[in-house]
Amino acid sequence: MLIDSPLPQLDHLFDYGVPAELVGQVAVGVRVKVPFRSGGRVVDAYVIELFDPCVESASTTDAAYRGALSPLDSVVSTAVVLTPAVWKLARRLADRAAGNASDIIRLAVPPRQVRVEKAWLAARAAAAVVLPVARQPGFSAAPEPAVPDAPVMPAAPSETAVPIPPPASAPNHPLVEPVETAIPTPSPVSIALATPAFVGYPTGRLDSVIMEHHRVAVSAIPELTQLDDGTTIGRWAQTLAELAVATLGAGQSAILCVPDFRDQDQVQAAVAQLAPTLPLSRVDARQPNPDRYRAFLACLQPEPRIILGNRSAVYAPAQDLGLIAVWDDGDPLYTEPLSPYVNTRDAALVRQQNTECALVFLGHSRSVETQRLVELGYLADVNPAAGRHPRIIPTDFQSEPDQQTRAARIPSAAWQAAREALDHGPVLVQVASPGYAPMLACQSCKKASRCTHCQGPLGLKSASAVPSCRWCGALAAGWTCAHCEGTKLRVVTLGTGRTAEELGRAFPGARVIVADGDHTIQTLGAEPALVIATRGAEPVPTGGYRAILILDGERMLARESLRVGEDCLRWWANAAALAAPGAPVILAGVGGALARALNAWHPDIFAASELADRRQLRFPPAVRVASVTGTAADVDAALADLGAVAGLDVLGPVDTAAPLVRAVVRFGYARGDEVAHALKAAVVRNAAKRRKPKSGSFQPAPTLKVRFDDPELL
């Protein structure tokens, strides 16, 4: 049994006996309750292995406890919700990130909804469907597919690329396939379904990806397309749908991962046009719990289907998985905020290695992580047949703009392009920040204004609003500068609201639309309008934008992050892909390598340059990194455990929030298993020791925390 607990010291299998009255209900993958410790306490768990010592050979149970076993308490449900493939994936990812398998499973298996589950079980029983069952004593099973020779996360060219072996702590967990094959004969719909033509790509190139299960990085076609019902979507969504439909045509399932609900809507619309009768399950955290659980149970059905969702979709159970496709893998929404913080890209790589399915990373730009895999030959590079790309016009600010231009931050060329384009259709203005004026400063000393309660930044919600704190919401009436005792504030940054207000005055009579986190607009007609949007929130217009103005580029690049360059290129490329054919895309105030890469539409060249620089500096993804946070004594003890690992270096420890310190460990991919094993042992040791509360507090002393591959660490 695997106990469903976040405690690291419980992240291993426990042996329990199965009472005679429960033998017919217990199967591998079902939820159960088991006694734990004393006092009649029971906890949730999953059945991971079953064996009968009277039937099984001793060689399969060498590590099994030979004495009397505590019996499990009850079976929560007979539904098999944890499949062998998902368990294997969870175990490998947890070991790779020094985390708990139960934390991964919590992402993969939604909370149980009793009514939904009972209805699902009743429907399956009524339909007389052969259910997947776990191997019982005496049954045999087909072997799992061999792990390919290529590495999940390959080493740099100077390193020896070797396959990542199964974790030493969990060899061959015998979750097995069903007794009867659960792979059905393809339905008449899928048999009759002609493989769609992959629009815009060399003939047969993407077909071979599906049929031969290749691993590829695909450059998306940066344009819009209109469906039969009049809906406009990105061409990338049509490409994803074509890949998924082709996979189902081959009798296999497809998992499509996209960053958010806007992207899901586009892909779902594309699939509905290509193959409206094919089964599609949408796995979305925005769904109500019953709907989300219903979609999860549909994924357990013994038939191929398309599974569409956000970062957690990569963990969905899939019948005979044939494709994992990830759109825009550099998006930060793919970074899991919960322990063990596994990125969707890494989960997709590991699952592809487990199942040998096709793997596609699709995007208008390319993450440095994907570029590394391309350079190593682990991913093949696929480009569109024709070099179609938006008309990018990089420009600097005018030396002496007029008052209107200065107020709106728009250079004269962009001003003229917007004025002309508004006669024909919508114009997009991309800005850095939502809100009205998200940052204020003292008018006298120019220092950033701070809240007197929490030291957070002050901002304005509207022109007539009282300045307030963006963190705690406290009003700052009667504010006084802590540096010079000034009492007047000035606007430092302009958000969507202030930009819309100024452009509305500059273009009298024009319809002004704001699209940001507080104003969600997904689609737009072809009528003239000024659309002021933050990055990622741009509506998809019918026919495309007649002009696109990308403002605040210097502010976006001023963010302190190792990834700021590739993030900006991704934001701008995705916005440029919304342009109508031939429409100008004005990049204001940005030059250099970024502007050249966007202008020539060669994001791979920029990614390659970034990767080369990071190799010289030993920055990720040229190496892997792990942060170790805790008290000074705990961090020192954890770092001491890494002394035997060769080829790593440690930055720090440095003070963070007292009494905590943090150290950063950098190491090669070939040493990942050793580092993860040593740090997991340190975390378990720290969690198992008794910790007294701090003096005068009921809170226990801080625990040791480890995080691998944090994208914002450096």
472 is in an annotated binding site: yes
Displacement of CA 580 from its chain's centroid (Å): 29
Task: Give the angle subtended at the CA of 230 by the CAs of 226 and 233, to the nearest 5°.
Answer: 40
Return the DSSP state at 257: E
On whether the CB atoms of residues 283 and 294 are closer than 8 A, the answer is: no
Q: Which residues are bridge partners to 395 per DSSP?
A: 588
- Contact 56/137 with Cβ under 8 angstroms? yes
Would you say 481 is a known binding-site residue?
yes
Q: 89 near 674, Cβ under 8 Å?
A: no
* Backbone phi, psi, residue 529, to 5°: -170, 150
Q: What is the DSSP string of 113-134?
A: -HHHHHHHHHHHHHTT-----P
Alpha helices, DSSP H, located in 542-591:
553-557, 564-576
Q: How far apart are CA 249 and CA 191, in angstroms?
A: 6
Cα distance between residue 467 and residue 475, in whole Å = 6
Pairing of strands 547-550, 584-588: parallel
**484 is an annotated ligand-binding site residue:** yes
Distance, CA of 41 to CA of 204 (rounded, Å) = 59
Structure tokens at 575: 């916005």
Is 54 annotated to bind ligand? no
Residue 150 neighbours by CB distance under 10 Å:
18
Q: Could you identify the residue written with the tokens 């005679």?
A: 20
Element (H, E) at 356: none
Rounded-to-integer distance, Cα 663 and Cα 350, Å = 27
469 labelled ligand-binding: yes
Q: Which SS3 state, helix, strand or coil, does residue 379 take?
A: coil
Angstrom distance (rounded) from CA 48 to CA 28? 5
Q: Return the structure tokens found at 37.
A: 């410790």
Does 454 belong to an annotated binding site? yes
Summarize the annotated binding site for Zn(2+) as residue ranges.
Answer: 442, 445, 451, 454, 469, 472, 481, 484
Residues at the binding site are: 442, 445, 451, 454, 469, 472, 481, 484
